[in-house]
Structure 1
Amino acid sequence: MHDSAAAPTAGTVEDILRRAGAAPSHTSFPTVDALNEQMEALRAQHPDLIRSERIGTSRLGEPITLYSIGEGTRSALVVGGVHPNEPIGSLTILHLTEQLASDAAFREELDTTWHIVPCADPDGMRLNEGWFADPSDRERYAREFYRPAPDEQVEWTFPFSYKKAYFDAMMPETQALARAIDTARPDLYVPLHNSEGGGAYFYLSRPVPELYPILHALPAALGVPLHTGEAEGAHFTVLASAIYEMGTLQDAYDWTEAYGLDPYPPGSAGDASTSYAQKYGTLSLIAELPQFSDPFADDTTISETRYRDALRESGEKLVDAGTRLTALLTRVEPHLRLDTPLLRAARVFAPAATGAGEESLARAAQESDRLATVSEVETLSGLVRLHRLRWGGMLVRALRAEVDAGTAAPELRRVAVEAQTLFDGWLHEALQRGESTPLPLSAVVGVQYGAILAAHAQLEGTRAWDSH
């Protein structure tokens, strides 16, 4: 039991920063099996406090479990593994569960029933486990990376119908997540995400101005830079530096359509889990924490590059990458024998890189002459590296699976070598920069954990923050 007698009151800025700074050290991410074992060990230690129920089954037969801790007047739902290449949340969930279970005073002050899904996509997360033992190894991360095709992502496969877009192919994992949301009816919902590099940034389902200072203070206190470049999508409303309003998929559709681009290309997904939770009046928070820091992530110095030129250069490189990957896929399509998640993802993301480039080029044509900040230039440069390495690496893995299985025709073998050479060149170029460094996992977990507590402190009926 933690001694909380002399600790600051739960929910105050002082207490949140203290707790965030006390996250344990880690050098690896748990595998799906290890995560499940640790959650079950915590439940065995606190059988009268931690409850569990099976809420679904993955496509490959993996049970998906919802844990509940405590009884309170409010409800919070925290979900890990909604994107299986983002495992910081696994450590955050283990720490949150341990803290809630072992500190009765803390738990009682929060006055909340906590619902936790450790991993919403266990099948997908297993395809990333090749780099979990040493997430500081950037090369291994790139070579063993997996992200599902958009229409196979648990986070973004909720029903959606708008203009020419229609989606209703909810996977079993998505149905399980919907069941968790409907069971919890959460006042606070936090699907746990992390980015790859750069700085920390946050999304909120609605403006909460009182929350912005602590969301800025948490990264600063733990040595994590803020992301001050452009948001992941230019259509997001900026609430404060590195804090954005989630908006809607309808907004994204209209914004893309306005640039004359296809707002719903083949392979597009559905709505987000946070949109599904809105029917309960839920405050949703996404805390995106980077695995790798970049010295330019929070550099707002004005560069010598015009923003439109940076957009154009990024767009041209993305179109080139997407065109090359798509051409390789076109050559091997008649020879493919294995239907794998990696191949399905590569088929969608290769042309998606081209689409992202066309979007940047369209924006460049309408951009003013203003000079870009250093962080804006770096964000666009990082976007090129991300598309090249993620989608190129997954194509390499998909083709290697055919070769290793002994099903590869001569043309497929040739393309596998060409794809490997292309990817190796991109990876070498990215590694040569040598500027990004792995962030301590205790720091990024601490920020994510602190953000959960900070958002919770803003729920209606929760004790208001003191003046700290």
Structure 2
Amino acid sequence: MHDPQAALGTAEDILRRAGAVPQLTSIPTVDELNAGLERLRSEHPDLISSERIGTSRLGEPIWLHHVGTGRRSALIVGGVHPNEPIGSLTILHLVEQLASDEAFRAGCDTAWHIVPCADPDGMRLNEGWFADPSDRSLYTREFFRPAPDEQVEWTFPFAYKDAYFDAMMPETVALARAIDLTAPDLYVPLHNSEGGGAYFYLSHAVPALYPLLHEITTSCGVPLHTGEAEGAHFTVLADAIYEMSTLQDAYDWSEEAGLDPYPPGSAGDASTSYTRRYGTLSLIAELPQFGDPAADDASLTETVHRDALRRCGERLVETGRILTELIAAVDPHVRMDTPLLRAARVFSPMATGAGKADLLRAEKEDGRLATVAELSSLDGVVNLHRLRWGGMLRRALTAEVAAGVAAPEVRRAAAEIQTIFDGWLAEARAGGDTPPLPLAQVVGVQYGAILAAHAQLERP
């Protein structure tokens, strides 16, 4: 039991707060998120203020809320990837706690700045699964993730070797404005993963933080991700904790591996790179929406790791081939230029690229055995590429059919991708149960991680 009277900002206090998130059953829509924050602002007008910092491409206002005052500045941003909305719940809980708990607010000695949703247009394309985020089939059918050059998080200016990007979207300009206005000591863009376990990124090594991040995750009943990292070039700081890689690092790693370091569809730098000019501590807490009992199982299997990598690579290459060939066949006949189709065009060949990277890694591996977590995460990567990109292509072509403007070639392709997608979904479900994690638990970890990182601002 943790002492409810523990001093503010101590490990005991942070663990208690992380474990006290109330039960949650749904994710707020953009309108519900804005309404919730407006309600809190109207109830606490002397504490919470708001300003408009930008406008989305479809004309949606982008807001920056300010909560309290203090010596330090913290910027929390939701919706940087609109398919990752757990942060909406984290934001509502954080602002409610700051508004209702004067001792907590004063103890933080911080001006908190909140961008509730950096990409409202993209988030609205995911709202079809928000009312029941526990339904994974519904999630895959209503999923949307923008093409890289349409993602707020990855469209900051970048110039390195043969790579160059300066096509900042209005939403990206708004986020840059929020960073410049607040000059944050702590910056947390709110992300979440799809399945597996929790993992974290830090802008730089903070050894004192690692045990607390692990303890928060365990105390909230969320497994740690101990399988494959998202990229082979990431520096491991501790179990499930990585140092944020720069885009230059990723470029160099790909170049040295013989891969195209900046393939078609690549975009710009990340918001966390932009904050480096302020000496900011940046944290990303990736929380899984769906659980994986094997996420933290380090026991050895009888499968050689390089064989598992090779198998994963082959399946990804085949996935990319199927999708890219289907898109190439239908592209001359489509009439509707939608975000879903643009994303499917870019991400489908990325499945091939990811597969080739795994095949290259397999060639350099020794004969060690894979862990249960590694095998599970490799299967998860294949399912992710199949169901995300195949699902978005299915939505794009089905929308054209439903609008009554589909050419015969588009109708045939829509039926074909529906059959392929249904088969991939059935295969993924046959691979094992992936139960949804209670929202209160994953929000608790994300909220607790913010408080834990904030507590490190006091230390040199």
TM-score range, shorter chain: over 0.9
- CA displacement at 1:365 relative to structure 2: 1.0
1:394 is matched with which residue: 392, 396, 399?
Answer: 392
- Which residue number in structure 1 is paired with residue 54 of structure 2? 56
Tell me if 1:437 matches 2:438: no
d(CA) in 1 for partners of 2:220, 2:409: 51
- Which residue number in structure 2 is paired with residue 117 of structure 1? 115
Tell me if 1:425 matches 2:449: no
Letter in 2 for 1:247: S
**Corresponding residue pairs, total:** 458
Tell me if 1:154 matches 2:160: no
Moved beyond 4 Å, runs of 4+: none
What SS is found at the alignment partner of 2:384? helix
- Which residue number in structure 1 is paired with residue 69 of structure 2? 71
Normalised to the residue count of structure 1, the TM-score between the two structures is 0.97
d(CA) in 2 for partners of 1:151, 1:206: 26
Letter in 2 for 1:112: T
Question: Which ranges of structure 1 fall in alignment gaps of 5 or more residues?
Answer: 463-468
- Which residue number in structure 1 is paired with residue 274 of structure 2? 276
Letter in 2 for 1:448: Q
- Which residue number in structure 2 is paired with residue 195 of structure 1? 193
- Which residue number in structure 2 is paired with residue 38 of structure 1? 36
What SS is found at the alignment partner of 2:456? coil
d(CA) in 2 for partners of 1:139, 1:213: 35
What SS is found at the alignment partner of 1:425? helix
d(CA) in 1 for partners of 2:351, 2:32: 34
Report if aligned partners of 2:4, 2:13 keep a CA contact under 8 Å in 1. no
- CA displacement at 1:327 relative to structure 2: 0.6
1:79-119, Cα deviation, whole Å (9 max, x unpaired): 00000000100000000000001111110011000000000
d(CA) in 1 for partners of 2:427, 2:367: 29
RMSD of equivalent CA atoms? 1.0
- CA displacement at 1:366 relative to structure 2: 1.2
Question: Which ranges of structure 2 fall in alignment gaps of 5 or more residues?
Answer: none
What SS is found at the alignment partner of 1:459? helix
Letter in 2 for 1:142: T
d(CA) in 1 for partners of 2:458, 2:179: 19
What SS is found at the alignment partner of 2:63? strand
Map of 1:275-314 to 2, 5 A cutoff? Answer: 275-314=273-312
- Which residue number in structure 2 is paired with residue 89 of structure 1? 87
d(CA) in 2 for partners of 1:451, 1:334: 48
Map of 1:83-232 to 2, 5 A cutoff? Answer: 83-232=81-230
2:313 is matched with which residue: 304, 312, 315?
Answer: 315
Letter in 1 for 2:199: Y
Map of 1:250-265 to 2, 5 A cutoff? Answer: 250-265=248-263
What SS is found at the alignment partner of 1:286? strand
Letter in 1 for 2:289: Q
- Which residue number in structure 2 is paired with residue 361 of structure 1? 359
Instruction: Tell me the percent identity.
Output: 74
What SS is found at the alignment partner of 1:60? coil
What SS is found at the alignment partner of 1:244? strand
- CA displacement at 1:369 relative to structure 2: 1.0
Letter in 2 for 1:442: A
In the superposition, relative to structure 1, how do residues 163 and 134 fare at CA in structure 2: closer, same or farther (>3 Å)? same
d(CA) in 2 for partners of 1:236, 1:201: 13
- CA displacement at 1:433 relative to structure 2: 2.7
Letter in 1 for 2:439: L
d(CA) in 2 for partners of 1:272, 1:118: 18
- Which residue number in structure 1 is paired with residue 330 of structure 2? 332
d(CA) in 1 for partners of 2:71, 2:409: 63
Letter in 1 for 2:327: L
d(CA) in 2 for partners of 1:12, 1:146: 39
d(CA) in 2 for partners of 1:331, 1:247: 37
d(CA) in 2 for partners of 1:196, 1:253: 25
What SS is found at the alignment partner of 2:285? strand
- Which residue number in structure 2 is paired with residue 14 of structure 1? 12
Letter in 2 for 1:438: P
Tell me if 1:456 matches 2:420: no
Letter in 1 for 2:16: R
1:108-162, Cα deviation, whole Å (9 max, x unpaired): 0110000000000000000000000000001000000000001111011000000
1:300-359, Cα deviation, whole Å (9 max, x unpaired): 001111111011000000000000000100110110111100000000011010111011
- Which residue number in structure 2 is paired with residue 379 of structure 1? 377
d(CA) in 2 for partners of 1:9, 1:183: 31
Report if aligned partners of 2:4, 2:16 keep a CA contact under 8 Å in 1. no
1:242 is matched with which residue: 240, 243, 252?
Answer: 240
Letter in 2 for 1:332: V
Letter in 2 for 1:431: R
d(CA) in 2 for partners of 1:6, 1:92: 21
- CA displacement at 1:401 relative to structure 2: 1.2
Report if aligned partners of 2:149, 2:265 keep a CA contact under 8 Å in 1. yes
